[in-house]
Structure 1
Amino acid sequence: MKNSLFLDAALSKATVRPPVWMMRQAGRFMPEYWEIKNKYSFLEMCKTPEIAADVTMLPIDLLGVDAAILFSDILVTGEAMGGDLSFTQGVGPKFANPVKNQKDIDNLQTDVLDRLQYVADAIKVIQQRLNGNVPLIGFAGAPFTVMSYLVEGGSSKDFKLTKLFIHNHPQLAHQLLQKIALVTIDYLNMQIAAGVNAVQLFDSWALSLSWDDYKEFSHKYNVEIIAKLNRKDVPVISFCKGSSVFAPLMAEAKPDVVSIDWNADLRNIKQSLPKGIAVQGNLDPHILYADKSVIKDRIHRLFKRMEGENGFIFNLGHGIMPDIPFDHVKYAVEVVKDWRGASS
């Protein structure tokens, strides 16, 4: 690997500067993304290896980040299991056949890797394009987050149906979560076999859960997934909105990296975690709307706070919003790459 900064930091090795990549870095804030998106549907982009590779490469070519992340979606596992998935501009993902009862759960399949082969094919194309320059991150949605979409039938602000489901029908919820976990294990191991250099588990909506519900309906399955990955030399990153609260539990699942939202002091979290677990984060993505002087100040403030800590990957506390100016994102990457310690 010509640029191993990301992998070194993920494995808690010393680096000359923090590596940088950003969640949703190959997304809607880029005009070049829209040039592709205007020709194809979102699912066509995900399911066509050459197009997925084109989009994956955009932030490598245009931003110069230290890692690529596979262009796909966390809900492709739900679709492969039997969810009738569609994406509508301005609405987001929808499952036309939401899960409501035992029969719906029974109808979901778990032997579905053949339906996800397009992801493995895309990984092979992307790795040819990357040519060893930077690592490629694969990913999957964590069971609770995928379940929330399957139960709600799409995005939700309050997760009312999901919470009713886990509270009134916990046995059904565990059946559904176990099925998603089995698929997720197979899916991430398929990505590793296809050649990704790291994987991230996205539990995007864990923040909606209480501590006890997170332990029972999220953490339990994330532990199982991470334990069953073929992870030799492949760092595992665990992310959720709510990681500033749940980080101690997340660490119990033994990932290599815990990705932290922007609500916590990153150094305090790092020092509270077991030795050898790296942290990723945790700039508030809204900072990227601000003036460039503010962007630079906030990144430098974070870096000075993390001075002397091995195992630190710079990222946002969540993904880039679509209307953040591309020039501001590029500037943030340049600020990171120019960093050489507190005296810089």
Structure 2
Amino acid sequence: MNKTLQNDLLIRAALSQSTERPPVWMMRQAGRFMPEYWEIKNKYSFLEMCKTPEIAADVTMLPVDLLDIDAAILFSDILVTGEAMGGELSFEQGVGPRFSNPIRTQADVDRLETDCVDKLRYVADAIRVIQERLAGRIPLIGFAGAPFTILSYLVEGGSSKDFKRTKLLLNNEPALAHQLLQKIADVTINYLNMQIDAGVNAVQLFDSWALALSWNDYRDFSHYYNKYILANIKRTVPVISFCKGSSVFAPMMADANPDVISIDWNADLKNVKQILPAGVAVQGNLDPFVLYADKSVIEDKILQLFERMRGENGFIFNLGHGIMPDIPFDNVKHAINVVKRFRY
């Protein structure tokens, strides 16, 4: 796998091998902070962008061409699995994703399909187009949303500040919650295997709303299913596990046997690395808000992190979460240049 890539830094770091510098990519790197993204977005709806392989490839390639990062990540959305299962998904400007038929009852769970990977073939088609364009320059990361996070959107009908309906389901109807989570997990396994077969070089599981959960609820309603997914996908490429709350949940996340755990900015990255089992790499963990700061500050913060991680194999530089849409493009480019100049 490494031999076919001109730049395999990310793969080596993900497998806890030595690297001359940390590889860099950023969550939401193909996004709204780039004027070039808006040139495309103003012509198409978000779902059209996701579902048209050539357009998804165009957006995926923006940070590759404009930022010269060490890995591309497929342009898509975590909620496409929820839609394929039967959720009526739309994206509204200023509102975000909405499911107009939220899950409320046993009948709602029963109607969700699990044999639905064919509806996601457009993602495999996009992967093939992207890999043609990358031509082995850098790895391509595929991804999926983790079951608990997908459940929260399906149950709430969209984003939520307090996850009240989700937590009512977990507390009052845990058996129904587990039934829904199992369905999502089975779809996610097929979806990630489809991406691996289509040619991605790594995959990341996004559990964006795990931080809403207590330790026991995370164990029972999130970690259990993430572990099931990681045990049943084709482990021919490195697997990165991310959640908001990873600074708390990292020791449990390691039990699911990922290659890499992506850490939020609330923890000291070296401390986390050293409590994890040998051979588990870490990704992160710059606070994205640092990228609003003066360029000298951005450089100092990155170099502080690198000095802290000096001597540690298995380190991928990233943000603790995604880039915000109004971060100046020049600041992002500067951050990446700082990383690329660094040598251990």
TM-score by length of 1: 0.99
Q: Residues 146-165 of structure 1 correspond to what in structure 2 (within 5 A)?
A: 146-165=150-169
Structure 1 residue corresponding to 2:287, chosen from 284, 287, 294: 284
Equivalent residue of 1:239, what SS? Answer: strand
Offset from partner CA, 1:85-135 (integer Å, 9 cap, x none): 000011000000000000000010000011000000000000000000000
Structure 1 position 231, deviation (Å): 1.2
Corresponding residue for 1:66? 70
Structure 1 position 340, deviation (Å): 1.3
Q: Residues 137-176 of structure 1 correspond to what in structure 2 (within 5 A)?
A: 137-176=141-180
Structure 1 position 173, deviation (Å): 0.2
Corresponding residue for 2:269? 266
Residue type of the alignment partner of 1:195: G
Structure 1, unpaired ranges of 5+:
none
Q: Residues 46-195 of structure 1 correspond to what in structure 2 (within 5 A)?
A: 46-195=50-199
Corresponding residue for 2:335? 332
Alpha-carbon distance in structure 1 between the residues aligned to 2:62 and 2:93? 21
Q: Residues 4-83 of structure 1 correspond to what in structure 2 (within 5 A)?
A: 4-83=8-87
Whether 1:295 and 2:298 are equivalent positions in the alignment is yes
User: Alignment RMSD, CA only?
Assistant: 0.3
Equivalent residue of 1:303, what SS? Answer: helix
Q: Count how many residue pairs are aligned between Structure 1 and Structure 2.
A: 340
Equivalent residue of 1:86, what SS? Answer: strand
Structure 1 position 156, deviation (Å): 0.4
Alpha-carbon distance in structure 2 between the residues aligned to 1:177 and 1:228? 15
TM-score by length of 2: 0.99
Residue type of the alignment partner of 1:92: G
Alpha-carbon distance in structure 2 between the residues aligned to 1:191 and 1:242? 26
Equivalent residue of 2:63, what SS? Answer: helix
Alpha-carbon distance in structure 1 between the residues aligned to 2:163 and 2:322? 20
Residue type of the alignment partner of 2:269: L
Whether 1:197 and 2:162 are equivalent positions in the alignment is no
Whether 1:255 and 2:258 are equivalent positions in the alignment is yes
Structure 2, unpaired ranges of 5+:
none
Structure 1 residue corresponding to 2:245, chosen from 222, 242, 246: 242
Corresponding residue for 1:207? 211
Equivalent residue of 2:102, what SS? Answer: coil
Alpha-carbon distance in structure 1 between the residues aligned to 2:93 and 2:342? 38
Q: Residues 212-227 of structure 1 correspond to what in structure 2 (within 5 A)?
A: 212-227=216-231
Alpha-carbon distance in structure 1 between the residues aligned to 2:268 and 2:180? 35
Residue type of the alignment partner of 1:256: D
Residue type of the alignment partner of 2:16: S
